[in-house]
Structure 1
Amino acid sequence: MFESAELGQRVDKATYDAEVPQLRADLLDLQYDLLAARRFPVLILVNGLDGAGKGETVNLLNAWMDPRHIRTEGFGDPSDEERQRPPMWRYWRALPGKGRVGVFFGNWYAEPITGWVRKDMKRAAAAHHLERILRFEKMLADEGALILKLWFHLSRDEQERRLKTLSKDPKTAWRITDQDWWRFENYERYHRMAEYVLRRTSTAYAPWVVVDGFDPRYRALSVGRILASAIHRRLAMPDATQRIAAAPFQPVAGTGVNVLSALDLEQRLSKKKSYASELARWQGRLNQLVRDERFAKRSLVLVFEGNDAAGKGGAIRRVTGALDARSYRVVPIGVPSEEERDQPYLWRFWRHVPGHGRVTVFDRSWYGRVLVERVERFCSEADWMRAYSEINDFEDQLVRHGAVVVKFWLAISKDEQYRRFKEREETRFKRFKITDEDWRNREKWSDYETAVCQMVDRTSTEVAPWTLVEAEDKYFARIKVLKTVVRQLEAALDGEAV
């Protein structure tokens, strides 16, 4: 890839001065068109060799465009807070919303390239890291993001000359560190690894562009033209992310097994004889586990889904009743906010990922995309079909970083749901729990049942399996939930599951 780039190109001052005013005007117009359309974000990944003009070029873009709508982020070594979460968490938090531009220095490509050069990471581990990056970028592109990846390049001789020039000038000497010289001494290793990474990760939806860093004027015009052309082309395209099929709900072929109909909903637990003692027993064990010193390097993510009125709230309260209020957070998931609609679907869940020693409970979750959004056609078929693999990848990242992910589907019969709905309508302090939407959802009971069965089939993985809870009897359901949490957390702390 580097061999195909012509390095050492120049632009004379007259040409530069003549073209820049029009380019600046075009970029500013496109930026405001982008902001007005609010259809997609622009993400610019800035990578390359020291001295190749990365910082100067980004500063110039901020000067040419409106910096209020550009988010420039520099990622160095992760902070203590970031180390407690999966590596991609800090990038998710910084993603620009629709209509805005994000510029990322030291982004997700820094670790595999620098890690291999430093010999902290073997080529196989770097390759695995790149596979995760490709899945991430594909998800961003599927969500509509325009991704531009720039590699600023220099020859070895030119890089040496730049470093020496900067080091000799008192006004710029502070910019050159021992680390910069170390990277220069390892130029060939950087060159080989960068070549491998760029070839492996240059895709149709997120291509790499090699920027010749020799001449500042040529470099600036090149980047400006690339950015203007890419935004112009995307704005002229129809917005595929907004197309939702008008066809009615159609079940998708799966295993053919209805896991919900196989549940024995008649299971009961006597409240007077055993519920109180069982509740105290399992709450006590859960409390001990989250205070265990081994949990300080773990986290607990609980996902509660289920039929309307199946008792998710009651089960959650019995779990949190065993915990110190300072150690957990319950995240209720409803209709996405305007800010959340401007981001990729999983963004609002990534932002709530707990740190080590913490518990996060999701009262409904990321599975809304393959349930309510699918059945009610709030998203396209392509969106919810790809969501299965995106969700599995998300949960795998959580588990690899020490999270224990426990997922529940609380199931009741249609008749029991009707009885609970009527009870809520007739009980003054429960009226807020029942809405017209709940009654409308009953009309699509079979559609939701199909979606649930396929969800369980496609997302019950070895690292994050589903637990189906027979919730016709709320006391039985609460104890089963507590038992499951305790046993999965014990297994993880004992090293039986990671």
Structure 2
Amino acid sequence: MFEATKVGRSVSKDDYQDQQETLRTQLLAAQRDLKTANVPLIVLISGVEAAGKGEVVNRLNEWLDARGVQTFAFWNESDEERERPRYWRFWRSLPARGDISILFGGWYQTPIEYRFKGYCTDAELDGELNRIVDFERMLIQDGALVLKFWFHLSEPDQKLRLKELSRDDKSRWKMLPDKSKFSEHYAAFEQVAERVILHTDRGNSPWYLIEAANSRYRDLTVGKTLLHAIHSRLAESVNTEEPTSPLVSPELPSSASAQITLLDQLDLSLSVSRNDYKHELKKLQNEINELAWLAHNQKRSTVLMFEGVDAGGKGGAIRRITNSVDARLYRAIPVAAPTDEEKAHHYLWRFWRHIPRAGFITLYDRSWYGRVLVERVEGFASDAEWRRAYAEINQFEEQLVDRGVILLKFWLHISQDEQLKRFKDREDVPYKRYKITADDWRNREKWPQYKEAVNEMVARTSTKHAAWTLVEGNDKPYARIKVLRTICDALIRELKTEGASTSRYMPCGEKRIDG
């Protein structure tokens, strides 16, 4: 596979000088066109050691307008990164629409190194590569241009290059001596790289294999490939698909159709007496505080996500949690309409940002499910966008759970009559008026559409690793007790094996290993 990168291509110094100026001018123009078209560009730089990856990145930063380019190197993980799912560090580096991110190694670096070192099997590596393929597809479907460069050297060329670098006191090679292991076992490393490239070389995100023995040829080839890819992307027919009109229900598969009246089957008459509520509330609040500290000591993160109909009681349930837990252990994230910065990224970006560190809690008051609820019903997302969101959300939640995050999802439901009563109460009570808006009344008119969207959401995203808890909410005390009890039961179940989270997670299938 790598034979085409070992044929000895080269460019003379004069030819390089002649071509560089024109290429640089064209790249700057293409970069401006990307900005105008709001297309984010992600450039992944990978390859064998001593192939000049750093030199290439320096050259790209020289040729491009630095104001629209960010470079990220993924060496050793920071404490913050180790305490979160692996992809958290990559989501933070994704460019806004119209900008460029250059990633050293990116999401490929660690899986390659782990397989090379024998930390995971081929099957586990393939599982991680499948996740990468899904991740890149998601970014591309959202409009991103993903370019992946692999720089290669023959073994003799690599040895010669390493010998030259060893004489340079400023060489990164001297600063990171552990990298020498890859060159000492050239054939084994090449075999792993070939498996990775073949598995992830797709039509929408192909690999470009670049011969790196001659630096001038290498740099010009990268620049020309980058230019051609940008021009091809901008020349594609513009997606003129309009946001979907207010919900017209799709036909669901039989497995989902069986649950289409799921919300109708909830017993909204369930309630608790005032005395029982007070007793249970105090007991559960004490318990959840103790469990929160136990989770902190065991380095287990918790994500609590609340969705529900307007006036369904989300805020009240969240307050009963935050009033119980030490404020140093949690963050509550109210989710409203996205800001300009958030609109410039994939819709999951703003939720990845708030994933808690190990041992801490994040509460989301509304969530990533807005894509398949309000954005679907109100026509803010195209038909294709909200339909593919089910799979994207399931993959997102699976990554959280694989990393050891305790994830609980609540839907708080009330009847239409109870909602009307609460709306009127909010209008009549001065300190509650801020809670009621024209949007609330407008959404109420679309009750059947929202109910149908909720049923499909639950059917498609209530999975083994992230099941929904449906909460009967007409009686507020009952709903609050059910939420607290569900959280306590889940924490007790997840934390029963003390010290389970002190192990380290591998990127190949997120498998735990000691050390």
* Alignment TM class, shorter chain as reference: over 0.9
Structure 1: gaps (5+ residues) = none
| Aligned partners of 1:301 and 1:406 also within 8 Å | yes
Which residue does the alignment assign to 1:373? Answer: 375
Letter in 2 for 1:198: I
Partner residue of 1:290 out of 289, 292, 296: 292
Letter in 2 for 1:249: V
Which residue does the alignment assign to 2:509? Answer: none
Q: TM-score, normalised by structure 2?
A: 0.93
Which residue does the alignment assign to 1:58? Answer: 57
Q: 1:245 to 1:238 in 2, by over 3 A?
A: farther
The number of aligned residues is 496
Q: Write the mapping of 1:58-457 to structure 2, written as runs, cut at 5 A.
A: 58-170=57-169, 172=171, 175=174, 177-240=176-239, 243-246=242-245, 249-253=248-252, 254-257=256-259, 258-271=261-274, 273-292=275-294, 295-457=297-459
Letter in 1 for 2:385: D
Cα displacement string for residues 173-228 of structure 1 (whole angstroms, at most 9, x for unaligned residues): 86465324321111101111111110100011110000110111111110000111
Residue 374 of structure 1 deviates from its aligned partner by: 0.8
Which residue does the alignment assign to 1:11? Answer: 11
Q: Distance in 2 between matches of 1:136 and 1:415?
A: 43
Which residue does the alignment assign to 1:32? Answer: 32
> Matched residue of 2:466: which SS?
coil
Q: Distance in 1 between matches of 2:78 and 2:379?
A: 40
Cα displacement string for residues 457-485 of structure 1 (whole angstroms, at most 9, x for unaligned residues): 11111111111111001011100110111
> Matched residue of 1:3: which SS?
helix
Cα displacement string for residues 309-345 of structure 1 (whole angstroms, at most 9, x for unaligned residues): 0111001000111100111110011101111111111
Letter in 2 for 1:153: H
> Matched residue of 1:402: which SS?
coil
> Matched residue of 2:362: which SS?
strand
> Matched residue of 1:9: which SS?
coil
| Aligned partners of 2:242 and 2:382 also within 8 Å | yes
| Aligned partners of 1:117 and 1:186 also within 8 Å | no
Q: 1:440 to 1:177 in 2, by over 3 A?
A: closer
Residue 14 of structure 1 deviates from its aligned partner by: 2.4
Q: 1:170 to 1:390 in 2, by over 3 A?
A: closer
Q: 1:469 to 1:177 in 2, by over 3 A?
A: closer
Cα displacement string for residues 215-255 of structure 1 (whole angstroms, at most 9, x for unaligned residues): 11111110000111111121222343864245852243232
> Matched residue of 2:221: which SS?
helix
Letter in 2 for 1:399: V
Q: Distance in 1 between matches of 2:382 and 2:279?
A: 48
Residue 30 of structure 1 deviates from its aligned partner by: 1.1
Which residue does the alignment assign to 2:488? Answer: 486
Letter in 1 for 2:344: D
RMSD of aligned alpha carbons = 1.8
Q: 1:471 to 1:352 in 2, by over 3 A?
A: same
Q: 1:248 to 1:292 in 2, by over 3 A?
A: closer
| Aligned partners of 1:35 and 1:100 also within 8 Å | yes
Q: 1:292 to 1:241 in 2, by over 3 A?
A: farther
Q: Distance in 1 between matches of 2:172 and 2:479?
A: 66
Q: 1:11 to 1:168 in 2, by over 3 A?
A: same
Q: Distance in 2 between matches of 1:315 and 1:359?
A: 15
Letter in 1 for 2:112: I
| Structure 1 segments of 4+ aligned residues over 6 angstroms from their partners | none
Q: TM-score, normalised by structure 1?
A: 0.96
Deviates more, 1:84-93 or 1:232-241: 232-241
Q: 1:36 to 1:2 in 2, by over 3 A?
A: same
Q: Percent identity?
A: 48
> Matched residue of 1:265: which SS?
coil
Q: Distance in 2 between matches of 1:241 and 1:394?
A: 28
> Matched residue of 1:410: which SS?
strand
| Aligned partners of 2:306 and 2:364 also within 8 Å | yes
Q: Distance in 2 between matches of 1:317 and 1:114?
A: 45
Residue 399 of structure 1 deviates from its aligned partner by: 1.0
Which residue does the alignment assign to 1:458? Answer: 460
| Aligned partners of 2:295 and 2:301 also within 8 Å | no
| Aligned partners of 1:295 and 1:493 also within 8 Å | no
Q: Distance in 2 between matches of 1:160 and 1:180?
A: 13
Q: Distance in 2 between matches of 1:332 and 1:455?
A: 21
> Matched residue of 1:94: which SS?
coil
Q: Distance in 2 between matches of 1:75 and 1:242?
A: 37
Letter in 1 for 2:19: E
